[in-house]
Amino acid sequence: MTIVPKTALGRTLVLLVSVLVVTLVATSLLFGRVGMRQRAEARADILAQQVTLVSGVIRARGATAASRLMNRSAGSSGLRLVREPPGNRDDDSERAHDWHRQSSRDSLEQQLRERLGTGADVVFSGGREAGLWVRTDATRGLWIGFTRVRPEHSPAFPATLAAWVLTIAAILTVAAYLFARQLNRPLLELVDAAEAIGRGEAPDEPGYDGPVELVRVGRALHRAGAAVRAAARDRELLLAGVSHDLRTPLARLRFATELLGEGTDDALRAGMVEDIEAMDAIVGQFLAFVREGRDEAPRPWALRTLVEEAVAAVARTGRAAEVVVVGEPEATVRPLAMRRLIANLLDNAFVHGASPVRVSAGAEGDSAWIAVHDGGVGIEPARRSVVLQPFSGGAAGGVGLGLAIVERIARLHGGGVGMHGGPDGFEVRVTWPRG
C-alpha cells in the first residue's frame, strides 16, 4: 500500500509542503549554526582579553603571588590559577549525545586558539570542578581556569516557539493547497474537454488564466472537438438525407408489388416484398443511428414503463419477452432514445439469440441498468468490443448498426455496455448514472 496521493493536486500539495518543511528545517539549522558561531566569537574575545590580563599579572608579580591573588577571589570572579587542571575532563561520550553542546565546545576552543596562538592549550573539565582551562606560553606553565564558562546546552523549545512554528506551518500548508489547486485547475478542465470529445461534443473554449502551454492545449482540444463534431454532423446529415430519399422509392416498390397481377409468381412476389422490407429495415437503422437523441432533454422516468412499452411493441409483431423489474426504479433518461436502445437489444436477441428472451431493469446506488437476456450462445468474447463499432459487419440482413446504436445511446447517457455469456444464455447490460 502506498501513501502517495493519486491525484495531481494531492501530489503537488505533498511536494510543496515537503519542500517548505525541508526549507524551514534547513534554515533553522543554518541560523542556529551561524548564531552559535557568533556567540562563540564574542565569548572568545572576552576570554582572550582575560587571559591577556592574567598573563600580565603573572609577569608583574610572579606565578606564586598571582596564583594566591587569583585563588582568593575565585568565588566572586570565577577565575583560578593552578598547576594542573582537574583530571575529570568533559566526557566525550556524554557530549556525543548532545550535538549542540559538542558543537559549542568545539567552536569556542577553535576561536580561543585562533586568538591565543597555536601553542595555547584549551580544555573543558566536567564534574564538580567543571569549567574552561587555558594555558599559554605567557602563563609560565600555569592553567587559567574559568569555572563559570560552560559549553552551550541544547536550547529549550518553549511552548510559544512551538505554537509559532505550528502556526507558520498551518499557514504555509493552506497557501500551498491554494497554489496547488490553482495550478491543477487547468488540468481538470483539460480532462473535462477530453471527455467531452469522447462523448462527441465540442468542449467549451478554455476560460481559465493558467500557464500558456495548458491554455494552448485547451484551445487545441476545443478546435479538435469542434472539428470532430462537425465531421459527425456531416456524416449524420449524409446518412439522414440518403436514408430519407431511399424511403420514398422503397415505398413505391412495395406498393407496386401489391398491384402485381394474379399471373405473377407468388414466391417471386414474396421474395420481392422481403427484400424491400429488408432494405427498409436497413434504412431505418441508418435513421436510428443518426437520431441518437442528443437533442432530447433528459428527465426522470420510470424504468418499468420503458421496459413494458418496448416489450408491448415487439409483442405486436408476434414476439414475446418476459419482463423482470426490481422494485419501481426511476432514472434520468432520454425516453425516446432509451426506447430505441431497448428495441435494438430485443431485435438482436430475437434475430441472433434464442428463446426465452427476458428484459430486466433496476437501480443500485447511483447507477441504473437495463439488461436483455436470451437463451442463445451469444457473441464470442473476442468480438464483443468489435460489434459495438458502427458497420462492424452485420448479419441476417443488417449492416452492423444495432449494437452500435445501443453503445452510442449508452454513452450519451454517460454509461456503457457490458456483455456476459454462460451456460444459461447471453446477456447484454446497459448501465448509466442514475441521476
Q: Does the residue 46 lie in any domain?
A: yes
Q: Does the residue 256 lie in any domain?
A: no
Of 87, 51, 88, give the one whose Cα is nearest residue 70.
51
| Residue where one domain finishes, among candidates 146, 171, 187 | 146
DSSP type of residue 151: P
d(CA 187, CA 326): 41
Instruction: Identify the CATH number of the domain in which residue 79 sits.
Output: 3.30.450.300
d(CA 240, CA 117): 102
pLDDT number for residue 311: 92
pLDDT number for residue 95: 47
| Residue where one domain finishes, among candidates 92, 124, 146 | 146
pLDDT number for residue 60: 79
- For residue 366 the three cell numbers come to 447511483
Q: Does the residue 203 lie in any domain?
A: no
What is the block-wise mean pLDDT of the chain (435 residues), using blocks of 10 residues?
66 76 73 76 85 82 75 66 71 52 80 82 77 82 80 58 72 78 75 72 65 75 75 66 67 72 67 71 63 74 92 90 90 89 90 91 92 91 83 56 84 90 92 90
| Residue where one domain finishes, among candidates 146, 162, 194 | 146
Tell me which residue has cell 419482463: 323
d(CA 323, CA 311): 8
Where do the H-state alpha helices sit in 62-133?
63-72, 74-77, 92-96, 99-116
Which distant-in-sequence residues (6+ apart) come within 8 Å of 52 by Cβ? 138
Q: Does the residue 225 lie in any domain?
A: no
User: Looking at the DSSP assignment, which residues form a beta bridge with residue 418?
Assistant: 429
Q: Where does residue 221 fall: left (phi above 0), alpha (psi -120 to 50 degrees), or beta otherwise?
A: alpha
- For residue 391 the three cell numbers come to 458497420
Q: Does the residue 157 lie in any domain?
A: no
Residue 285 burial (CB count, 10 A) = 22
Question: How many domains does the chain divide into?
Answer: 2
Handedness of CA 228, 231, 235, 241 (dihedral sign): positive
pLDDT number for residue 356: 93
Model pTM score: 0.47
One-letter amino acid at 44 equals: A
Looking only at the bridges linking them, the beta strands covering 416-422 and 358-364 are unpaired
pLDDT number for residue 1: 47
d(CA 355, CA 320): 9
Sheet with 131-135, side-by-side order of all strands: 79-82, 143-146, 131-135, 121-125
What is the CA angle 74-79-84, rounded to 5? 105
Burial group, residue 414, by CB count within 10 angstroms (0-12, 13-18, 19+):
middle
Q: Answer for the pair 371, 430: CB distance below 8 angstroms, yes or no.
A: yes
pLDDT number for residue 144: 85
pLDDT number for residue 382: 87
Of 155, 145, 172, 165, give the one whose Cα is nearest residue 80.
145
Q: What is the dihedral of CA 49, 52, 58, 60, to 10 degrees?
A: -100
d(CA 7, CA 118): 61
pLDDT number for residue 2: 57
Looking only at the bridges linking them, the beta strands covering 358-364 and 322-325 are parallel
d(CA 290, CA 341): 13
User: Looking at the DSSP assignment, which residues form a beta bridge with residue 359?
Assistant: 323, 372
For 90, the domain range is: 8-146
pLDDT number for residue 368: 94
Sheet with 367-374, side-by-side order of all strands: 322-325, 358-364, 367-374, 425-433, 416-422
pLDDT number for residue 96: 46
Q: Does the residue 389 lie in any domain?
A: yes
Q: Does the residue 62 lie in any domain?
A: yes
Burial group, residue 203, by CB count within 10 angstroms (0-12, 13-18, 19+):
buried
Instruction: Identify the CATH number of the domain in which residue 347 sits.
Output: 3.30.565.10
Q: Does the residue 202 lie in any domain?
A: no
Of 177, 232, 187, give the one whose Cα is nearest residue 214.
187
